[in-house]
Structure 1
Amino acid sequence: MCLFRGTLFLFLLLTVSEAGQHLVHRQRSHKGPRRHRAIHDGALRFEPEPYSKKLERNSSGKIHCKVAGGVAPTIQWYLNEEDALPEGVTSVNGTLLVSEAARRHTGNYTCRAVDGNSTIRATISLDIVVSPRILEPSSGQQVNVVEGQTAVLNCQATGDPQPTTQWDRNRTLLLQQSGVSLEGSINASSARFLVLNNGTLLIRNVKEDDSDIYGCLAGSAAGLARNELLLLVHAEGALPVQESTGVGGKAVVVSISVAAAYMILVLALMYYCRRRRLRSRQRGEKIELEMAEGREKLVEEGEEEKPKVANGSAVQNGRLLPHDRDSGADNSEVSGISRASKKSGQYDHLTVPRTLLTEQITLGRGEFGEVMLAKIDMCQVKKLKCKDDAETEPKLRPVLVKALTTKDEAQLSEFRRQLELFGRVRHENIVRLIGLCNEADPHYMLLEHTDWGDLKNFLIATRTPEENAEYMSRVGPAHPPAVAERPAVPLEPQHRALLAAHLAAAGARLAAKRVTHRDIAARNCVITSQLQLKLSLAALTRGPHSHEYCKRHDQVIPLRWLPSEAVLEGEYSTKSDVYMFAATVWEIYTKAELPFGKLNDNSVMERLKSGTLEWVVPGSMPDPLAALLKRCWSKSPSDRPQFTEICEEMSTIMQNITADDITEQTAENEA
């Protein structure tokens, strides 16, 4: 009996134990999903790495920090390295949230991910900008002027950075029309239409035909803005009642007349003084130019005649060339330039102290380090180069700053190549090398920039809502366009052809100097307020245009703009620049559409390998230009035209477009 009771007790105990284990298993199987996987997923890394950003003041924004690998990493944002976030900025699940952007939020922010003993960091820059806002004229303003008087149209705008202004007439840039001059030009005293340096437009001896819609266009790196006014020219004694009758109306007319006379007198005095200063400086500048050209010729001859010798010196982090010895064996491609520069004083001539840089704004990250936009006093730069103290008035100009923070030998060599390219090649459609900040690490390459920023953003700003809708229908939601709040003036056919001709002239100059650009695209061109294109090389591989680059064999390349021989074999030449020239002209006529926008990078790569990647020219492109681009996209480099031939054909295309435009205007006038 006792044995039976013991066996029964043991059976009940085992049954209760199994039921408890089954209940625990059911409870575990019904738990919610875990935030992190319990298995190790490789080394801790950012995917993708966060990049710098610009935010409009008083707006909200997000900067994501996504981490892969590890077991259960924790992600947190800090100001600088480890400081607490300022008021109005929070960190939630790896996302940096800015509720209402203010100037105090500008600075460097660090995303830190920790998983056990592993820690990774990524630092970005947050800049707070203010889009251009036009103060005068007000939207829809109407200006009434008596025939024969001087019309004064003011164009004032605010923003951060300070925008530059431009006038258009009936949505056609005024400076592109005949009879319009700038203050300080040769024809300023006799021109009827005169644009002053402060943005004011003077129309002397106004006529009835001058009645039209005039637009004030303001642009900067933060965006574009435009306001219109209506100018009405009346016959004498025919002003509207509210302005022509009464003591108040007469006082306004008298005040305007006195102000116009005073401004004309001031302009005449300024023009006279400026002409005297220019004449006194021209002789010195001519001698200086001849000496500079002579030094450049000596450097080039020295490169061809003298062998390059290397002594195997080590490369320093973030430094272009050591100060105390020549470059090593791996740097032999520029050793001759370095020694020739030291002999001729050209290297010292490039040195610019970084203390001259002001108002720095981080645009993103390039192949060597951070890429920034800053301003520099060109008067001080000229003093350093010419030792001339005659000119004391500051002349702040925007510059593109490319920092050298890498110690990879291939990237150092590319930095030197770009320094040589922009230092030796001088052309009106290629940005100039302003100088080199090399007194401390990291080194800065300073390139000329423009008041209206890069060509890609300018082209996007010229799109109409209908063009944006058409773009989305072709490409889809993969890469939506950045729509400007206030679109710019639409480009006329002659304007698009003019930009293409400017780019062809820049490519021809590079080919004549036997150098290659290797990244010709709208994002790497800049545009001035005079609608002049200049070829630059910002190469923002991390930033707003990062999706236009992809990584291949440990190199970041602009896949969609390159021919097959450059992508598959790494062969860059003038003919690969010709291919990229055609791709950029395609961007101009599609308003900065992404090439092959419906395809991902892998699909583009496969079609390049198989030779089935085909470009489709837009319908708005003239037939001769479309035929020229198809030749530039030939799969064989030998079948592509030379840049000299491209320039000749572009000249013919421009002449035909101008002739057609004149014919249309004549027909309209006769009708």
Structure 2
Amino acid sequence: MCDRDRRTGCCERIPLFLADLGGFSSPARCVCVCVCVCPCPCILASAIYFSKEPTPQDALNGRSAMMSCEVNIPTNVVYSWLRNGEPVHNTERRFQEGSDLKFTAIDRHLDTGMFQCVASNTVTGETARSVNASFNIKWLESGGVTLKEPASEAKIESSQPVTLRCHIDGHPRPNYKWYKDGVQLTERSHQINNKERTLTVKSASPDDSGLYYCCAHNPLGQVCSNKNFTLDIVDKSFPVPVVVPEDQVVFRNQEAVFHCQFTAEPPPMVQWFHESEPVFNKTRLILYNNGTLLITQVKQRSTGTYRCVAHGPTGRDVTLQATLYIAEINEMDPIMPRVFTADTLERVKCYPPSGHPEPEVWWEHRGRRVPTVGRVYQDGTDLVFSPTNGSDSDSYTCVAKNKAGERRQQLTVTVATRPEWVTPPQDTEMLEGQAGYLHCHARATPTPHVVWRRGTNIITEEDPRFRLFPNGTLRINSVEVYDGVIYSCQSKTEGGFLMGHAKVTVLEKLKFTPVPQPTQCLELDKEISIQCIATGRQAPKILWSKADGSPLPPWVEQKEGTLRFGKVLRSDAGNYTCTASNSLQGEIRAFVSLTVSILLCRHQHSKPIHLDSDQDKTPYKMIQTIGLSVGVAVAYIIAVLGLMFYCKQRRNAKRLQKSQEGEEPEMECLNGGAMLHNGQTTAEIQEEVALTNLGTTASAEKRHSSNDKLHFPRVNLQTITTLGKGEFGEVLLAKAKGIVEGEEQTLVLVKSLQARDEQLQQDFRREADMFAKLSHPNVVQLLGLCRDAEPHYIILEYMDLGDLKQFVRISKGRDEKMKSQALSTKTKVSLCMQVAQGMEHLSNQRFVHRDLAARNCMISDQRHVKVSALGLSKDVYKSEYYHYRQAWIPLRWMPTEAVFEDDFSTKSDVWSFGVLMWEVFSYGELPYTKLSNDQVLEGLQSGKLKLPPLDCCPFELHRLLEQCWAPSPKERPTFSELVHALANLPSDSKV
């Protein structure tokens, strides 16, 4: 049996060319040839037939749809579509994609009719058309409720039928429900026609009055009427308001009148109420028959709500009300002066005072109302500058007025301009020992604020060596040689700033360095040298001479200011003069009195005997002076040691008492300060003497011996670059020779102490002490200290990939040259885990970090992370710090209790660690990046601040972050618990 083609009825179709029949070169139409014996005739048919044709289908109005079309041999075939026999043109809503016709949103009006696919062979010219197909479009459209009968609302009468129609329609036909005042109506009480979409009230009465609406639903969904109908059936016996009482605002002791009238058959009874008490005719209250109420003398007790109630023979009462106020206007809140920058859009709001009636508010400038249009205009109660201009600096007045009076508040606006030099700083020569002046005088509005720097250090008013004048002048009270550096000044307003620099050259005075001791003792028969050194702008010539003018004996030599006695003789005693002179500065003199002494040995004690040229001085005078000095010094040391011992005993007793009372154990803060609980210190800092303490106490000696082990020669440090600036001073990247055993040179991080502030110096020393006490693989190591000269240095371990924040930022970049290996979720968890382990050690040692963030952690190329404290708050990460209460704080990393109560603890570090984890998983994004610092501060204060959830971290980590950010510190986990939780995080956690 042969299989026939279902479309042509033939056994098989093959293309046949005339060339096969006789050598013709032009192609002929395909001929259907049966290759097997079949009792069917061979019928000519098209070579194009559809393997996939469009079919009728359901579609939802407004939703997407598609009709498909495909032929058996698509080679050289192009497609097009017809709708009702007309070509379909591509639009954004309906377009052809390949052979298919796509609809992004079916339109029940535009997409009705028959669609047909047309396939054409571009070589043979053949064309084939598919079967027709259409959409069964389902739709549902909202409409309003209208009155069908009677013809108009004016013809609605009581006891007559009323018919409403719902104009919601759809396909298939929807089912309808009717509602009155939100309550569904049933066919028991009303006639509902689903086909006609109508609701009929057979005999309308006032009880049928209300708001009517309809809802309809079909397979597409449900909609309710978008315009409802209010049916109001008037009953002549029902009181209808004619005159409605209005709110009254009158002055004290004036009269007030409320009018209230109703109409009905028969006329209703009207009664007045004040608040909840009925009103009767009294001395100051008069009720008229027409419903009017007169209050003759209004007092404070007369104010309030008055209700006019009408009682009809049937139905419910009708109530109208109005309020009586005494005219008043309260004071306005003051408006703070505002400083704007030029060419910016600025608004100032005027808050109107409370009062009755409500005050009218407007702005005035120089006695005239500010217009509602223009560059400076009034928008509601706002004064708008669009944009600001230098000429806008002036006083503006907000006026609020009602019948009780008028209130005014003045606003002072200053448009800040960029400073202009009047006297810029200039290179200056100053005389040593005298006062020197540097000028930094600029003109601007408002008066510029001037900041002076000596090198990189800010000069403050507390520094006794300088005086800052209001006009920007700096005075160096007594110029020293080391004051010869670069000074810079910044003159700044909100409109901009100027920077000026001046090099100070100190003209050194001619002076002895040091001044020779006026009285000196020489030992008889010994070789002695006495030095006299002087400096000046020009190298001085130094000569020794005897005060009486006699020449120096031949056994006394002088060379380059040194007076050398080859062998001291008794005759060498006397007065000598050292003279230093140069051609620029003249000469100076120093007088020295020399005495000669001999040592006598008696009972194994050597006692010097002083001899002078006159042989009449007391021989033991010098020994007595020295003995007295040493005795006083020893007594002072004993007193200091005794006082320290006494204080230590008292502190130990207090600490024991606190421990017995259950107070919290002692904790130190990495960035300075003791642990606080509810704003009070819970422990004293451990007994350590500051590095600057020059006393000779035992504790100081112990500390210095400890720090001496970390001492590193400054000459072995080679600075590579400046990484940034922090509160203490510059942070440097340097090479240190021989600081690590087995390494010739080591890359190190150097923190310098350039700040003059005493508290910052103390914090710097405390930080060095604390790093010296920490030893953990995930905490940077303190390698050395430089204290031999200023500025002091802390030398810390440095990791070759820098800080963690830059590392995760680069990991997100698209530049393959800069991008490190992509960070997997497992790697990010590992980075956070290492930080948690370092902080666990830190907290176990009773330290608090106070500035934990990705910027303060270091990372190596092996992705080994260590907790550090770079604190680059002055430039590199200045945007991540906020100036609050005279300090720069990492606001976006701090919990509420740390910001507002200064209560730092391990639990506040846990909050910061949660933000650090958020940083790692967001690839270094700034927390709350869409909020300003002030908005972050407000969010913390209100308790509504919350970091946005991350799309790329495990669910378990989300839960851990919520625990870290618990509002109560007690509810936050410890670092040990965090380490445990991160270690047990499933490696296949869903992201």
Give the alignment's TM-score, normalised by structure 2.
Answer: 0.32
Identify the structure with bigger relative contact order (alpha carbons < 8 Å, sequence gap 6+). 1
Rg larger for: 2
- Name the structure where strand makes up a greater proportion of residues: 2
More helix by share: 1
